[in-house]
Amino acid sequence: MAESRLETVDMFINMGPQHPSTHGVFRMVLTIDGEQIVDMKPHIGYLHRGVEKLAEGLRYREVTVLLDRTDYLAALNNELPYVMALEKLLDVKVPERAEYIRVLVCELNRIASHLMFYGAFGADAGATTPFMYAFRDREEIQHFFEAVTGGRLMHNYFRVGGVRYDLPEDWRERLTKLIPHLRKGIVDCERLLSDNEIFLNRTIGVGQISAADAIDYGLTGPNLRACGVRLDLRRDQPYSVYPKLEFDVPTRSRGDCYDRYLLRVEEMRQSLRIVEQCLEQMPDGPSLGEVPRVIRPKEGEVYVGTENPRGEYGIYLVSRGGDYPYRVKVRAPSFCNLMALNEMMRGCYIADCVLILGSIDIVLGEVDR
Partner 1 sequence: MEVVWRESPSLALANGHGLYHHLPGVITAKTDYLFAMARKSSLWPLTFGLACCAIEMIGAYMAEHDLDRFGVVTWPSPRQSDVMIIAGTAVKKMAEPIKLLWEQMPLPKWAIAMGACATDGGPFQRSYSTVQGADQIIPIDVYVPGCPPRPQALLYGIIKLQEKIMAEASNRKAAV
Partner 2 sequence: MTEEHSAHSVHTAPKKEPGPSLFPEMERLVAEVLSGIEVTSEQVVDEHAIIIDRKDLLAVCRRLKDNQRLSFDLLRCVSVVDYPNESVFQAVYHLYSIGLKHRMAVKTGIPYDDAIVDSVTSVWAGADWHEREAAELLGVEFRGHPNLRPLLLPDDFEGHPLRKSFKVPELDQARFRRGRE
Residue 347 amino acid letter: G
Question: Would you count residue 324 as binding partner 1 (CB under 8 A)?
Answer: no
The secondary element (H helix, E strand) that includes residue 193 is: helix 171-193
Alpha-carbon span 179 to 276, nearest angstrom: 8
Question: Would you count residue 300 as binding partner 2 (CB under 8 A)?
Answer: yes
Alpha-carbon span 287 to 99, nearest angstrom: 8
Question: Would you count residue 29 as binding partner 1 (CB under 8 A)?
Answer: no
Alpha-carbon span 339 to 156, nearest angstrom: 29
| Per-position b or e across 21-45, b if 16+ CB within 10 A of its CB | ebbbbbbbebebeeeebeebebebe
Alpha-carbon span 60 to 293, nearest angstrom: 12
The least distance separating partner 1 from the CB of residue 73, rounded to whole angstroms, comes to 7
Report whether 343 contacts 36 (CB < 8 A): no
Alpha-carbon span 30 to 38, nearest angstrom: 8
**C-alpha to C-alpha distances, 186 to 83, 111, 135, 247, 268, nearest whole angstrom:** 31, 10, 12, 17, 8
Question: Would you count residue 298 as binding partner 1 (CB under 8 A)?
Answer: no
Could you tell which of partner 1, partner 2, none binds residue 25, using a CB distance below 5 to 8 A set by kind?
partner 1
Spatial CA neighbour of 305 closest among 331, 339, 267, 334: 331
Residue of 15, 26, 69, 203 interacting with partner 1 (CB under 8 A) = 69
Residue of 72, 303, 316, 324 interacting with partner 1 (CB under 8 A) = 72
Residue of 32, 179, 302, 350 interacting with partner 2 (CB under 8 A) = 302
The least distance separating partner 1 from the CB of residue 143, rounded to whole angstroms, comes to 10
Subset of residues 46 to 75 that bind partner 2, contact rule: CB under 8 A:
48, 50, 52-53, 57
Question: Would you count residue 56 as binding partner 1 (CB under 8 A)?
Answer: no
User: 17: cis peptide before it, omega within 30°?
Assistant: yes
Spatial CA neighbour of 99 closest among 277, 329, 328, 273: 277
The least distance separating partner 1 from the CB of residue 297, rounded to whole angstroms, comes to 23
Cβ-based nearer residue to partner 1, 48 or 298: 48
Residue of 12, 14, 35, 45 interacting with partner 1 (CB under 8 A) = 45
The least distance separating partner 1 from the CB of residue 212, rounded to whole angstroms, comes to 34
Q: Taking CB under 8 A as the rule, which mask of x and - marks residues 147-166 in contact with partner 1? A: -----xxx------------
Residue of 327, 346, 349, 350 interacting with partner 2 (CB under 8 A) = 327
Could you tell which of partner 1, partner 2, none binds residue 314, using a CB distance below 5 to 8 A set by kind?
partner 2
Q: Which residues bind partner 2 (CB under 8 A)?
A: 44-45, 48, 50, 52-53, 57, 88-89, 213, 215-220, 229, 231, 236-237, 299-305, 312, 314, 316, 318, 320, 326-327, 329, 331, 335-336, 338-339, 368
